[in-house]
Structure 1
Amino acid sequence: MKRFASPVAAIALALSLAACSAPTRPLPYTGLDSSPVLRPSGKPAGRVPFEYSSPTDFKRYSKVLVEQVTIYRGPDNQFEKVSEEGKRELARYMQAEFGQALQQKFANSSMPGPGTLRIALTLTGAKPTKQFLGTFTKFDLGGGPYNVVQSIRGKEGLMSGSVSYAVEVYDSQTNELLAAYVAKQYPSAMNVKASIGALSASKTGLKKGAADLLARLDS
């Protein structure tokens, strides 16, 4: 690719690319069991726009039953040009990452019982990284400064991928819904490694999402 003729042209292209790749926000997906109780979180970052919580002392729980990740098929799903195999790959990765993260605090359980949480995970959307452009815009004269600002703000980078998902936490013995939320995760706008490979940014987002869930249950 030829170098841009001028800084002005480069910046104009970066802004044009940013406008064309406006980020989507996760929805309170209608097909979720928790959808009727999900409410706007009011958190400015936008990574968790909808959530539900009940007064729960998670320290009472020592075990966790993580259900098989479900791929969301509702008409309000947010998969953008992700193949069926790509969805299955992300679901397997999500299963492994969330399971490993929760093992840091909880013992695995295959059966409901006292002191056991049941976690329902749903992969609701994903956006692949634009190959070559996702990496190129990390260094390009126009995209580079834009991505630096996005990184500082904790926002998405140009042409970078992301992942959306839902988490529902139940008391496995009573089936009471204790907490639920929908989230969108993505790598830092200047994370070059996460821009290599169409699904690498989505996988980085799932790794961050697993750590976020652990922190919620450990608070």
Structure 2
Amino acid sequence: MLRRSIAGVALIALCSTVAGCTTADPTVYSGLASAPQLQPNSQDETGRTPYRYKGQVDWRLYSKIIVDPVSIYNGSDNQFVKIAENDKSLLASYMREQFAEKLRTRFAIASIPGPATLRLHLTLTGAKTTTPVLGPFSHIDVGGGAYNAVQAARGREGSMTGSVNYAVELYDAPTNRLLLAYVTKQYPNAMNVGASFSSLEASKVGIRKGADALLAEMK
């Protein structure tokens, strides 16, 4: 028990001083088509969505949406942290699947531009896997649990837990006019123990949360 407590204290100290416990907040990725339009998001206090653009739009005018294949960002300012190429592809496919599934509860999924049609382009710009062993341990250990409880209360990510960074670009499909764009980082609640037992589960939870957030934006 003493050994576990010491380990927990060490984990808290490490997470307080080392950036490796969490990932950096998203940036205005230079390779995005919407980069010139993105502006600091003064309404974001969590660091999840620090840059955003929204044009004049009435979502009620749209009934269909095209969901493009998800791009994997290869710019030098990407935020992938030691993640394999096949895992990037897996997350990109999962992202398109989850966003399409959520959005079809509000829009008909279309394949070609037409009246009353939106086009969604998602770009996977970064991801971090959950740290093996330390990820689950930091959630069940007394000291690590205390750290994560504080993070959960602040709406911040848990220790040693994965996350996903991506860009949303939403267009009027017939005119290709940009309606909404933002960069965001999503991750599970810091007290979500289940998301820490698989290397990619935390990133997948973040993708599902992001899909819910976009759907709520357009209601």
TM-score bucket (shorter structure): over 0.9
2:87: which partner in 1? 86
How many pairs were matched up?
216
1:194 aligned counterpart, secondary structure? helix
Secondary structure of residue in 2 paired with 1:26: coil
- CA distances 1:10-34 after superposition (whole Å, capped 9, x unpaired): 3243221342224311011000000
Find the counterpart in structure 1 of residue 36 from structure 2.
36
Decide whether the 8 Å contact of 1:27 with 1:182 is kept in 2: yes
Q: Percent identity?
A: 50
Length-normalised TM-score, structure 2:
0.95
Shift of 1:154: 1.0
**RMSD (Å), alpha carbons:** 1.4
Structure 2 counterpart of 1:171: 172
Structure 1: runs of 5 or more not aligned? none
Distance of 2:171 and 2:2 partners within structure 1: 54
Structure 2, unaligned stretches of length 5 or more?
Answer: none
Task: After the TM superposition, list the runs of 4 or more consecutive aligned residues in structure 1 that deviate by more than 3 angstroms.
Answer: 3-10
CA contact (8 A) 1:18 1:158 kept: no
Alignment of 1:51-130 (within 5 A): 51-130=52-131
Instruction: Kindly provide the CA deviation profile for residues 104-148 of structure 1, in whole angstroms up to 9, marking residues without a partner as x.
Output: 100011000110000011000000000111111112122110101
Cα distance in 2 for residues equivalent to 1:166 and 1:17: 27
TM-score (norm 1): 0.95
Which residue of the partner structure matches residue 11 of structure 2? 13
Rounded to whole Å, the distance in 2 between the matches of 1:129 and 1:35 is 29
Aligned partners of 1:18 and 1:142: how far apart in 2? Answer: 13
SS of the residue 2:167 aligns to: strand
In 2, the alpha carbon distance for the partners of 1:55 and 1:137 equals 45
For the 8 Å contact 1:4–1:10, the answer to whether it is kept is no
In 2: Cα distance, 1:113 partner to 1:22 partner: 42
